[in-house]
Amino acid sequence: MTRFDKLPLVLSALTVALLGCGANETSTQIDGSVFGRAQALPQSTGTQFERIGPSKSARSASAAAAARNPTATEFFTWAEATFPTLFPTKGANQTFEIYTYRYYPSTDLILALTDNTVLGLVGVTSNAPRVVQLGSLSDFSCLVLPALCTGTPAAIDATSVGTGLAEVGAFMSVCSKTGKLGSPSRATLAKAPEPSYIARSLEMRRVNRAIVKSADSGPVRATGTAPADKLGDCGGRMSHPVYSHVNGITTATNQFDNYCQTDTDTGEKQVVNGSLSYVKTGTPTASGPITTKLVSNSPAGLSFITKSAGGATLTSQTFSFNNYVYTPGVPGGDSTSANPDRIQIDEFQIGDSLTGKNYRQTGYTLTTFDVAGGGSQMSISGRGYRSNGAYYDMSTTTPVMTNKSGDFASGAFTFSGAGGSTAVATLVPGSALQATMTVNGVALTGVPACTN
């Protein structure tokens, strides 16, 4: 049977997109081997990059704001606009091994990124190229993305119960073990929006593992031929306008045009539109590459519309994200506590056209691994934002544990706001994703009874 309602928005797309996909290689303007030949310089002083490094105040602001890292394109675009004499042309991103870079022929400079490090190369075409570290990409966050550094901590207070529910309700349903309902005005958000962030995180892990297992299943995944277009069972198409596979690395852009899938249990239909791109890095083997990293982006976003069997619109959401990175803890095997699977997303945004609400999260991280006897353990952290720009931080203060049947066994989340204010959600064991909650130590009782 086909069940799409429990899939996270981005992964419902990634599932069909990544089961054998890849990418176009950017034309090379300069030999990437210069990165290995360049002599390291101890500092940028005396080079053309002397003005580039962020000041101490800029680094401190970025660290304090915990803003997401800029994408490579955002960073290069900012550098070109800020230092036009150094970077006078608007080049295309190029890649070489672990480096993403742009080359500027008129100044013979390269500006490059590798993981979280910013590099500058001078004298690129000379016999003695030199390379200097310009700082961490995160140091530049408030310079490149100033809008992300203007927020203030959100107040989470017990007298405004709706506020506490709003912070937690986007992650899971809030309930009370008392079995009693309070006044309707207090139960303002008892049920989490579908799909909730926690449910999405769990499905991210499950779907990623399915993606990697399928993508690594045989030599067919290592060919340079793009997969055939996939037609939806109720209409539309998913295609691969860009595709390439070279030495274990696939890069692709996947396009969804009214791609429709049917839930065979309920008759509901989900239609997806939009595009995403990704790079999947693997270690080549005789039976195909073993995935070691998956990076995906969809800055313009994907739209998902779910309709009932009768044609009524049930959900209408958009999901956009930057720098989604999945790293299997044990490539080709099962994750462990020492080597967990990791998911990081610099930023994602969810817009709900039916409710008019928008949810935004930055610095999202998830680690998860298998536990003995079946089941898994998961930890999550990130920063959420209200519509007015105020933010709160979320983290698992007790890891989420599930049993081999996928039921919840334990777990607790703390949402931290201004002045030390907190909301704490403690999972209720059982199959449903729900939690009791306290706001600044005061238990909420004016919410629906827990179902387990």
123 belongs to a structural domain: yes
Is 257 a residue whose pLDDT tops 90?
yes
Domain that holds residue 412: 9-23+151-443
382 belongs to a structural domain: yes
Of 122, 149, 176, the one marking the end of a domain is 149
Q: Between 163 and 272, where is the model more confident?
A: 272
CA 342 – CA 420 distance, rounded (Å) = 29
pLDDT at 438: 87
15 belongs to a structural domain: yes
Answer positive or negative: Cα dihedral of 212, 214, 215, 216. Answer: positive
**pLDDT confidence of 396, banded at 50, 70, 90?**
very high
Q: Between 46 and 202, where is the model more confident?
A: 46
Is 244 a residue whose pLDDT tops 90?
no
Residues 233 and 93 in one domain: no
Helices (H), 190-251: 197-215
Residues 128 and 158 in one domain: no
450 belongs to a structural domain: no
Residues 230 and 118 in one domain: no
pLDDT at 171: 63
H-helix or E-strand containing 74? helix 72-82
449 belongs to a structural domain: no
Of 96, 131, 149, the one marking the end of a domain is 149
90 belongs to a structural domain: yes
284 belongs to a structural domain: yes
> Chain-wide mean pLDDT for the chain?
76
Residues 273 and 145 in one domain: no
Residues 160 and 309 in one domain: yes
Residues 186 and 245 in one domain: yes
CA 87 – CA 71 distance, rounded (Å) = 18
Of 93, 120, 149, the one marking the end of a domain is 149
Residues 159 and 87 in one domain: no
Residues 141 and 182 in one domain: no
3 belongs to a structural domain: no
- What single letter denotes the amino acid at residue 180? K
Number of structural domains in the chain:
2
Going by C-alpha positions, the residue among 361, 364, 359 that lies closest to residue 343 is 364
Residues 102 and 129 in one domain: yes
Residues 114 and 200 in one domain: no
CA 272 – CA 256 distance, rounded (Å) = 6
On the question of a cis peptide bond just before residue 195, with omega within 30 degrees of 0, the verdict is yes
